[in-house]
Structure 1
Amino acid sequence: MNKQLIQSGMTLIEVLVTVLIVSVGLLGLASLQATSIKEGMDTSKRSQGLWMIDELASRMRVNTAGLANGYTGAGTVAALCTGGAVTQCNAGNECTGNEMARFDVWQVICGANAGPGVVASSNDNINITDYSITCDAAPCDATSNFTISINWVAKAVQDAASSSATYNEDDEQNITMTIRP
């Protein structure tokens, strides 16, 4: 009888060890899945950032009249997106090259404001914290090199950070591209 009791006790211990090993494995898989989703979001943001830089580069190639200071003087994200009005350049409103350049930057960086909770542009997806367009030599023209840079807060960093809206510079991701229009 003791032998049978010991054997059933060993079977119970084997089952508990098996359950423990399977539980640890499943927790590892769940953690891997969560990390994969966060990294996928960051990859999506990087793709959006590349699209935005490519869009700005294409617009700069078309609007050579705005290269002198329209693109480089557009302002910060806060001033551009929440500040003063940007001249709407369309068929009904003639614009100078510099006005068109500022409108191009506003349209790509700020996008259309469709209201809270509505995703209407790349900026809604990427959460841009800063951008810059610089020229390597004055006067800026079609033979100059322009450097376009976009910064945003990574999804993984937002989840790990406190609930405050401020982030350290180390928490940002960046894409920089140098072009010649």
Structure 2
Amino acid sequence: MQLNQKGITLIEILVTLAISIIGIVGLSTLQVQTHRAVNDSGNRSQAIWLLEDLTNRIHLNAAAAANYDGNQANVCNSAPTRVCSPYHNGNSVVNAVSCNGSEMATWDLYESLCDMNSIVAGSDVTKSSPATAIANPELTVVVDSANNNETTLTLKWDSRTEAENADGTKVYITDENLTGSSNNSTITYKASLTTVFIP
């Protein structure tokens, strides 16, 4: 016995709709994860640029390497009194003055980490430092004078895809709350990059 079916039943429509919704939700989740990964990748690129720039600056000012030492969390609170290298403020070039090694170290850290307040006519936003493009950067410089001034630069920044647990182990996250915890241990949602060199 053969049935002549015409059209689509309501059940077939609901099954098709359910399958389509599952696919669309999966694609939107993938897009969110991709967006997070792209942002973190951009932060990492800027961090590499910043550390390479600061490494070169310390190499050029090797005699005053010890002046770079310390946690640089407050370096942007006040501008140095001496401008040790010329820069463009958006309208004109700000000329440099002669600086000693200590003043150059202070200037190098400020210029590398802080926004130089450059305003370019016709632009909405002007970024004058790689640090202004990194999410909440934290730089630590350790100069070991007992070991030929071996210098360790560590830059940490906010991350949406990688973190570090209390033991210092890298943890890769997908959807957890940025202030949450996992397995009863606190997780710090920071990515980091370290370079070690002798100036």
Q: Deviations over 1:72-100 (max 9, x none)?
A: 15x532x2102353521136411101110
Does the CA-based 8 Å contact 1:112-1:120 persist in structure 2? Answer: yes
What residue in structure 1 maps to residue 195 of structure 2?
177
Residue identity in the other structure for 1:127: A
What residue in structure 2 maps to residue 122 of structure 1?
130
Q: 1:76 aligns with which of 72, 76, 85?
A: 72
1:37 aligns with 2:41: no
Q: Distance in 2 between matches of 1:38 and 1:177?
A: 25
Does the CA-based 8 Å contact 2:160-2:178 persist in structure 1? Answer: no
Gaps of 5+ in 2: 86-94, 163-175, 180-185
**Shift in Å, 1:54:** 0.7
Residue identity in the other structure for 1:145: E
Does the CA-based 8 Å contact 1:86-1:102 persist in structure 2? Answer: no
SS in 1 for 2:84: coil
Distance change >3 Å, CA 65–CA 169, structure 1 → 2:
farther
Q: Which structure carries more helix by proportion?
A: 1
Does the CA-based 8 Å contact 2:79-2:110 persist in structure 1? Answer: no
- Taking structure 1 as the reference length, the TM-score comes to 0.77
Aligned Cα root-mean-square deviation (Å): 2.9
What residue in structure 2 maps to residue 95 of structure 1?
99
- Taking structure 2 as the reference length, the TM-score comes to 0.71
What residue in structure 1 maps to residue 167 of structure 2?
none
Q: Deviations over 1:114-159 (max 9, x none)?
A: 4795433212210334211112333x7xx432100011111469x9
Moved more, 111-120 or 51-60: 111-120
Distance change >3 Å, CA 160–CA 117, structure 1 → 2:
farther
Number of aligned residue pairs: give it. Answer: 165
Residue identity in the other structure for 1:30: S
